[in-house]
Structure 1
Amino acid sequence: MSGRQVGTRFLEGEGADEFMAAFKRAVVPADRRAAARDVLPPVVLLAEGGESGEGDGGGEDPGGRAHRAMRGLERCLRRERGGKLVPYAALGAAEAARAVRGRRPLTLAVGQRLCEDVPPRTGRLRLPDFQLMRDVVECALEQGPGAQSLTGEQMRDRCYEGRRRRSPVLRALWQLGGGDPPTVQSPAQGPGWLALALAAVARPAFQVLPRWWWARRCTRRLLWSGTTGWFADWRGSGHGRRSEEFFESAAQLVELPAPEGERQDESEAGHGPEGEEWLSTVEQLLLRALLADLKATAGPGRVSPWRRRRATRFTVLLELGADGGSGDPAARFLSAYGTAAEELECAATVVVATGPAGVVVPGERCARLSDAATALDHATGAPEGGLEPLLAPLVPLPPGVRSGTAPRSGPVSPRDFRMGPVAEVVLEGVALVAVLGVLGAWLIPMTMGGEDESCLGGASGGPLSGRAELGATPPRQQYEAAALMIEEENKRVDEAVLRRGAEARTVVHIGAEVAKDQEGQRYNGAVPELRGIALAQRALNDEARNDSQKVWLRVRMLNGGEGYKDAERRARQVVEEAGRKGSGIIGVVAFSQSLKQTQAAVRELGRAKIPMVGTTATADAMNVSPYYRRVAPTNSREARIEADFAHRGNIMDGGSGGCSPAEAAVVVQDPADLYSKEIGNFFAEQFGGDWSKLEYSPGGRSGGASESGAPGAGGNRVTHEDSIKDVADAVCERIKAQPRTVLYWASRAREFTAFLDVFGDDTSCEGRKLTVLGGNELTTAALSGEYEARPWLRLYHTAHVLPAGHPRGSDVTQEFNAEYAAAFGAKDLWRNDGRAALAHDAMQLMAAAANEAFASTGDVERSNVQISLDNGISKEGASGYLDFGRGAKVSRDKPLVILHHTAKGSEPVLFCGSFAQNTGRVERWGPKGEFACPKDG
């Protein structure tokens, strides 16, 4: 895209070019989904004072250089001859001064600027929540301090008047209803019977009813909804139908404080402590409304060609005052922004402020501009520790250096569409008509033949995988045998180093405590994970023996304790060992479970910049460090596929030989368990419609359990149960009320066994059909026959690999299955579970990064290994194709399998994802392939 060159000399300091590049990547992300996923911290550029001299930085005061920096950033967001390239709002000292004089929050000006002069071909920016809250605040300002408080009805009427002025439809309805009521200045005209008719019919139909419906929608959206009810979350009032309307709460919230004392008149209201508190409150109100709207608007749409062109973030540029105190509108905006963006998880905005170095702004100080650039590039997800500003210095140029020389970077470059949106709509309409015609010709004959009611997976099953054997060998002995394989391989590495001078490095494995008894193996993945690592280490060292450009690998085994209680302590131990000279540690392969303990360990290792590859931990919340990747599919992907499976698949057995999709869902989750709480919430969100949640924490663990609540919008509700018997009774009541209810088990497998023992004998649902959909947590127990002898149970559960011998498996998968069978037996309990394959692939991914670093630089240090991981790695794996693009934390389209549990074994009824690079991509599922697999993101 053509445009005048804008130099980076308006940014002075070490790393200015890196910061400009990171700023542009943040405004125009390469991955369009980043604007809906990666929350960016605000950046404050502080101009330090300079010495007098000839350069631009020498004689210029810090405030002037801060202003020049903000205007330079603004020029990067505009075209050469005017017009915006991206939606942004730039507010300098003049706007801040107007906000102070008018006692108005700065967010009002930010929202107005974003709506003005929007980039072409992106459509009008609609901000319904922000416009509503703006009307609420304007009503309070018009009312004035110390005036009589507005009632909920008065606030509703005034806000509806503002909404009516912006809507041609509402204005037309208002006129059909008789217009504004007559006043002394404009008395009513016409015969009395016409006025009576208008009052009796037209006014209720065209004025009262639309206003009532609009107010009800506002209350439902902001107070009752669990997805858009940010106002209720902020006020801590909870969700659900209640007597209090939104406008009653808003009128009380924004009421202006009365002036104190007789010497303070109305013009001084808003400048005292109570006025500053009021301004802070309404700033938070308006900012949350604005961020909620921008979050819903951000990202390209799939239908609207205008929304499709919105591939950039919304940018806010601010200029701080000289002191940056509480009275500075820009500082108040920054203070409110951090909390609001974190709570709303709004990734749609980029905020940059400039000011002199003396301003008082709390935040994380960066030594250089390049440090702030790195933080922007590696921002992922929504931070849990707070969204504090990044404070970066603007260091003045040395004397004799002019700021206008050698321009280095031009404007941002969003994607330019060749075709206009109107032309695209016309083409889409023509294509839609053609597609509908083809679909109609295909669907009409199919619907004539009747609806398919065959049960997905068959009535009695047709398993492709045989029954697994629990085995007689004690768990500790199996674990020690796998550990012995690794120790022998470590000795082999030491011999290669001594005899050949081979290059060798160490990978640390932090594993879970092995099961204490034979029965505990059904619920414990410590043994297969260690086996997968042992097999991978042996294969990788065989490759290194034959190729001098590959690295030999040792494995350092650490025990994370029962339930990973020692995971964080082990992480600190790894950090200490890695810091010693000559340790050889290049990374960590670990974490088979998503727990708060393992999440804390990831943070600890990430702070030390140690690369990590997770094995079977699936929670999205584990991604708390840019140094962490995982080979298992995420909870969000799994829940999306499972919800689609429940909605479309014939899984509900009606008892008459036929099946149908689920019409309702009840989710059982443990709020104290990171994995359970997250995947349960994801499934309920993706399932939509009629769902309810039952929260149960074994042993009375606390974890933010919800109180029993009344049904919310759509009949959905969350209740907390005190025992597994209460859970079984509650599930039974849901099924009796709606027989086509699927039970989604998000809790752990051990509790599921206890639930089945109670449900079949001790509830009023004895003999009723029960359809259960569960995650990979249930797979090992199901494959071992734990849930047999229950003819009333229809169980579907997920796995991360296809059963051994399935024709869709790649050559690498079949080779791994053969090696595993040769080492541990063809009927081993974990051969079809996937834990060993995922651990094998995690080790392979770490080795691929080490080999890439060795081949390209000859230096196998942790930093080079991390660079290789960041650059992206793709290779065939035992669990499917590993496709890590540049900066990706999860493999693209990671395979997921849903198995139907039968007495003879488990059969796959759905498998989606990339099982091999060329021929192994599965995009449809169903008996006839009639359903499309849900995509990532």
Structure 2
Amino acid sequence: MLGGMHMTASVPPLPKIELLIDALEQLVTLPPGRRGPAPQILLTQLTEGPEAGRIADGLCARFSAGGRARVPFAQVAGEAETPRQEHVGATFQKIEEELLRNRPGGFGRLRLPQFRLMCGIVEADLAGCPLGAQATELRNRSYEAHCARSVFLRALQAVSGGEEPPPSIPGTAWYWLRRPLFGLLPRWWYGRRHGRRMTRKGSWYRTWAELPEGGPGFFTDACRLTVGAPGAARREPIVDVLLRALLADLERAFRHPRLSPWGRRRRHRVVLVFPQPPAIGDDTGRLLEQFPQAVEHTGCTGVMLMAAVRPGRERTESFAEAAITLKSWIGATGAGGARVVRVGVEPHADDEDAARWLGRYPEIAVGRSRSDAAPRAEAAVAAVAGVTVLGLLGGYGVAWLTARSDTACLGGSGASATPAPTASASASGGKGDGRSRPPDRSPRAVYDDAVAAITRQNKRADKAARSGDMVRTVGYLGVPVTAGDWDQAKYSGAIPEVRGIALAQEEINEQADQQKSSKVWLRVRLMDAGERFTRAPAAARALAKEVRAAERAGNGEQFLGVVGLGQSRPGTLSARNILAGAGLPMIGTAATAEEMQRSPMYRQVAPDNHREARIAANFARHANIVQTAPGTCAPAKKAVVIGDPTDIYSANLSDRFAEEFEDVHRIWYPVQRPSASPPPKPKGQGGEWVSHTSQMADSICRRLKEEPRTVVYWAARAHEFENFLDDFDRRTGCNGQSTVLGGNDLDNAVVEQQRPSEKHLRLRLYYAAQALAKGSSPNVKGDDFRRRYHDAYGSDLWSNDARVPLAWDALGVLSEGINAAYQSAGTAPFGRGGVQAALERGVGGAEGLRGATGSLIYGEGAKVPVNKRLLILHDTRGGSPEIALECGIRDSRDEAKTWGPRNAFDCPRDQDDDKDGKGDDD
């Protein structure tokens, strides 16, 4: 029911009062979003009389009609009907009671969480509680008071078992299983949530209490407001916090109006009306005094306060002047303290115009009346509709994602946006038009640039040696640039490897210059291995002879190791054996055939063919790479493996892939001896020998027609790949549609130069790579490498060539072994034996060495880094390759162990391989 005065009181018809009432009610009905700070209207009774109180009571009568409030308001007069709370005070009890009573239809339940929290705090008596436990006790009491108003929390308390466990052992065990979850956790969360809300930056409590950053928590500070807290003037801070908490809650009631059916109906300000002037010692006086500052602290716009007050020294305005002031506030948003207007009220005879207006408009105009049932029905309909829509969308989304992930082609359609030309492309003479081109200069000139960088570093090392620094020499055994055109030079790997060596030497010597007592300067000697490493044995013999001669002459061990050996060729194996016989440690760059590892002095930085084949077979079995319809792909069921039986790398890789994938057809293509006849027992099951790429293309097309879900695994060298694709497009009936998965010899530089996906539009090409230097750095060492490469060479054909960072890492591993031997020797001489011992133990220990291609973790005696990072890339038309798979260790405690959509597939790992018994070399 409404208060007793609402139905009988009316606004006295004083002259011009209708102007004030009209302007005031327009402010009340101003919707959220168009309001300024909460207004405060003080009706000042200038001479003796009841007019100010009658105006206030009359307004309350206008705020209701037909026994129901039309706007939310509180008529604060008389005693509250609820049991008295001594420390909260009658004024605030009456405000809460009136607000809960006088709510318009559709307004919904009014929640006052902060106000009730502060009421509980000021009523709490902590006199008997130890000082250090008062904050926790205050939180617990506040939580219990909150539970008394919440059915859900009362249920949790009941389930938790209360404060005391039962006497039986099973009961006690069950009690402590459920008590933390249902009792202690909700209490802790309540305290944390309210503590953060009340003391976060910008909160009214933090502003009022002047709490410093990182100061005491809310409940600790609030103890000063409890019963018996020290301080004579306790009433003033209590009124201050209760007022601010009330305004904060009332403002909160207008938030998110579009999300709540009740919030959409809360269109009018809450009006607090005080018809009687405050008595001496009454809370109302402090409340009226603090209202402007409280509005500023809380940012309240949804409240209007009207009160009858006694006259003071402040200037008052007439009804007409006050009406003009109030209308000026309509639509004027902003922030700050409350806008205050003091209206002078004096006795006067009834005014006919005012009486006529008040009779014509007896109540506030708020539009149509609203019912409580409407928002409930709307909420129910919205809930049902929301659940239905979410269910349908969820089902559709799951179905769509499942279907798409089951059939979507891995790596997209093959099209890719062409990157913008880069200025850095010109650094090496390239044409920055998306794909990198060979430089405009000769291969030899580009190669000589990198050689010149090594020569400069060697001169720096010689100068350091003359200054007494520790300097040693290592060799790089690799192929030189002999071809006069780029068609042949692009396959050799000479330029990218020498660039990697040059950049690594520069970094190593920079560190040696800074850490003279623990690092060794390196000279690098370039050793000509000849085309396909045919002259590598001769170069190795010459070096071995030189090393032995130096030993006999007593010149010490100045030459400490060799890097390179980047191709798995017969000449490479012979050179390896010769160098091992001379006691020279070796670190291989890009060679991956397992036969390379059959020497105690040899190690490599690239993952070997066994690991690559396991990952490639796993990829082909699970990835959607074979196109079955436009935009639809599936994993491969069968594979056609292309290998060269006369090539150590190719034969080993094709054998390993056939073992892992199993359902394969072998095609042997002896590139160096095309007319060679197959042996009496063809190598591998289902082996087929061809002498030309056209025969290979015909055979593959037949296999694709028999089983469309067939992948071509290219384990041969890269220089015949373009010829095969041309023959497959022109000479077969397969219309050029195929999926090819290439080995690591089909590297990024070759792909960027041949551009197969641009020339053969129905080709889906994937290929293995030890690194994607330009686009995917595994760690900070990779970032440093990329920066150095870009500074030296810009963006060119070899920016993404894995052989550059592999050469960088190889020299880095050998340098770490040399530094370890130097540090272990102390002041004694050190040599190749110490370097070999350090490499045998594994440089970097259990964490390994951070490299540009990933972490290099060598177990004791290991030849290949464990779980070495490997990528499978998808070639795109006109753009950089996309990473379709990444497996292996990027950095310390950072390993890619899964791949595919939603990381659905496990990466093959070396530990799993050892368990299967396949870790030994054949």
Normalising by structure 2, what TM-score?
Answer: 0.51
Alignment of 1:89-128 (within 5 A): none
Any idea what SS the aligned residue of 2:508 has?
A: helix
Inter-partner Cα distance in structure 2 for 1:464 and 1:809 = 24
Alpha-carbon deviation of 1:461?
Answer: 4.0
Structure 1 residues 515, 825: closer, same or farther in 2, change over 3 A? Answer: farther
* 1:717-740 C-alpha deviation (Å, 9 max, x unpaired): 001112222111111111111111
Inter-partner Cα distance in structure 2 for 1:875 and 1:483 = 26
Q: Is 2:814 aligned against 1:841?
A: no
Q: Is 2:645 aligned against 1:691?
A: no
Q: Is 2:781 aligned against 1:812?
A: yes
Moved more, 699-708 or 920-929: 699-708
Contact 2:414–2:875 (Cα < 8 Å) also in 1: no
Structure showing greater relative contact order (alpha-carbon pairs closer than 8 Å, 6 or more residues apart): 1
Alpha-carbon deviation of 1:462?
Answer: 4.6
Q: Is 2:753 aligned against 1:784?
A: yes
The equivalent residue for 1:514 is 481
Q: Is 2:406 aligned against 1:452?
A: yes
Alpha-carbon deviation of 1:677?
Answer: 0.5
The equivalent residue for 2:451 is 483
Inter-partner Cα distance in structure 1 for 2:411 and 2:903 = 14
Alpha-carbon deviation of 1:646?
Answer: 0.2
Inter-partner Cα distance in structure 2 for 1:654 and 1:876 = 42
The equivalent residue for 1:588 is 562
Q: Is 2:889 aligned against 1:914?
A: yes
Any idea what SS the aligned residue of 2:472 has?
A: strand
Contact 2:411–2:882 (Cα < 8 Å) also in 1: yes
Q: Is 2:848 aligned against 1:870?
A: no
Contact 1:482–1:527 (Cα < 8 Å) also in 2: yes
Contact 2:773–2:786 (Cα < 8 Å) also in 1: no
Q: Of the two, which has the highest radius of gyration? A: 2
Contact 1:614–1:628 (Cα < 8 Å) also in 2: yes
Normalising by structure 1, what TM-score?
Answer: 0.50
- Equivalent residue letter for 1:668: I
Instruction: Name which of 482, 500, 505 aligns with 1:537.
Output: 505
Q: Is 2:723 aligned against 1:754?
A: yes
Instruction: Name which of 851, 854, 863 aligns with 2:819.
Output: 851
Q: Is 2:574 aligned against 1:600?
A: yes
* 1:479-518 C-alpha deviation (Å, 9 max, x unpaired): 11111111111111111111x2111111011111325112
Any idea what SS the aligned residue of 1:579 has?
A: helix
Inter-partner Cα distance in structure 2 for 1:914 and 1:699 = 37
The equivalent residue for 2:465 is 497
Alpha-carbon deviation of 1:778?
Answer: 1.3
- Equivalent residue letter for 2:840: D
Contact 1:647–1:661 (Cα < 8 Å) also in 2: yes
Q: Is 2:713 aligned against 1:744?
A: yes
The equivalent residue for 1:620 is 594
Alignment of 1:171-182 (within 5 A): none
Inter-partner Cα distance in structure 2 for 1:840 and 1:611 = 17
Contact 1:468–1:829 (Cα < 8 Å) also in 2: yes
Inter-partner Cα distance in structure 2 for 1:521 and 1:772 = 24
Contact 2:410–2:625 (Cα < 8 Å) also in 1: yes
The equivalent residue for 2:694 is 725
Any idea what SS the aligned residue of 1:577 has?
A: helix
Inter-partner Cα distance in structure 1 for 2:679 and 2:642 = 13
- Equivalent residue letter for 2:463: E
Contact 2:728–2:736 (Cα < 8 Å) also in 1: no
Any idea what SS the aligned residue of 2:654 has?
A: helix
Instruction: Name which of 881, 900, 909 aligns with 1:935.
Output: 909
Inter-partner Cα distance in structure 2 for 1:771 and 1:819 = 36
Q: Is 2:615 aligned against 1:647?
A: no
- Equivalent residue letter for 1:814: D
Alignment of 1:273-312 (within 5 A): none
Inter-partner Cα distance in structure 2 for 1:702 and 1:489 = 48
Alignment of 1:255-654 (within 5 A): 449-450=402-403, 452-462=406-416, 467-498=435-466, 500-514=467-481, 516=483, 517-548=485-516, 549-581=518-550, 582=555, 584-654=558-628
Any idea what SS the aligned residue of 2:641 has?
A: strand
- Equivalent residue letter for 2:788: E
Inter-partner Cα distance in structure 2 for 1:700 and 1:472 = 34
Alpha-carbon deviation of 1:764?
Answer: 2.6
Moved more, 522-531 or 445-454: 445-454
Structure 1 residues 731, 670: closer, same or farther in 2, change over 3 A? Answer: same
Inter-partner Cα distance in structure 2 for 1:702 and 1:587 = 40
Contact 2:587–2:603 (Cα < 8 Å) also in 1: yes
- Equivalent residue letter for 1:835: R
Contact 1:671–1:705 (Cα < 8 Å) also in 2: no
* 1:566-586 C-alpha deviation (Å, 9 max, x unpaired): 111111111111112236110
Inter-partner Cα distance in structure 2 for 1:837 and 1:602 = 22
Any idea what SS the aligned residue of 2:839 has?
A: helix
Moved more, 514-523 or 489-498: 514-523
Alpha-carbon deviation of 1:705?
Answer: 4.0
The equivalent residue for 2:704 is 735
Contact 1:672–1:703 (Cα < 8 Å) also in 2: no
Inter-partner Cα distance in structure 2 for 1:610 and 1:464 = 47
Alpha-carbon deviation of 1:655?
Answer: 3.0
Instruction: Name which of 637, 644, 655 aligns with 1:663.
Output: 637
* 1:434-483 C-alpha deviation (Å, 9 max, x unpaired): xxxxxxxx9xx889954710000011345798633322121111111111
- Equivalent residue letter for 2:866: R
Structure 1 residues 845, 449: closer, same or farther in 2, change over 3 A? Answer: closer
* 1:388-412 C-alpha deviation (Å, 9 max, x unpaired): xxxxxxxxxxxxxxxxxxxxxxxxx
The equivalent residue for 1:800 is 770
- Equivalent residue letter for 1:903: R
Inter-partner Cα distance in structure 1 for 2:584 and 2:709 = 48
Structure 1 residues 660, 621: closer, same or farther in 2, change over 3 A? Answer: same
Inter-partner Cα distance in structure 2 for 1:623 and 1:676 = 16
Inter-partner Cα distance in structure 1 for 2:458 and 2:909 = 41
Structure 1: 5+ residue runs without aligned partners? 1-441
Structure 2: 5+ residue runs without aligned partners? 1-394, 420-433, 914-922
Contact 1:464–1:803 (Cα < 8 Å) also in 2: no
Alpha-carbon deviation of 1:875?
Answer: 1.4
Inter-partner Cα distance in structure 2 for 1:707 and 1:729 = 24
Contact 1:898–1:910 (Cα < 8 Å) also in 2: yes
Inter-partner Cα distance in structure 1 for 2:762 and 2:493 = 28
Q: Is 2:649 aligned against 1:675?
A: yes
Alignment root-mean-square deviation, CA: 2.3
Contact 2:646–2:672 (Cα < 8 Å) also in 1: no
Any idea what SS the aligned residue of 1:678 has?
A: helix
* 1:157-209 C-alpha deviation (Å, 9 max, x unpaired): xxxxxxxxxxxxxxxxxxxxxxxxxxxxxxxxxxxxxxxxxxxxxxxxxxxxx
Structure 1 residues 464, 882: closer, same or farther in 2, change over 3 A? Answer: farther
Alpha-carbon deviation of 1:786?
Answer: 3.0
Any idea what SS the aligned residue of 2:473 has?
A: strand
Contact 1:707–1:719 (Cα < 8 Å) also in 2: no
- Equivalent residue letter for 1:698: V
Contact 1:586–1:860 (Cα < 8 Å) also in 2: no
- Equivalent residue letter for 2:664: W
Alpha-carbon deviation of 1:803?
Answer: 4.5
- Equivalent residue letter for 1:620: E
Any idea what SS the aligned residue of 2:797 has?
A: coil
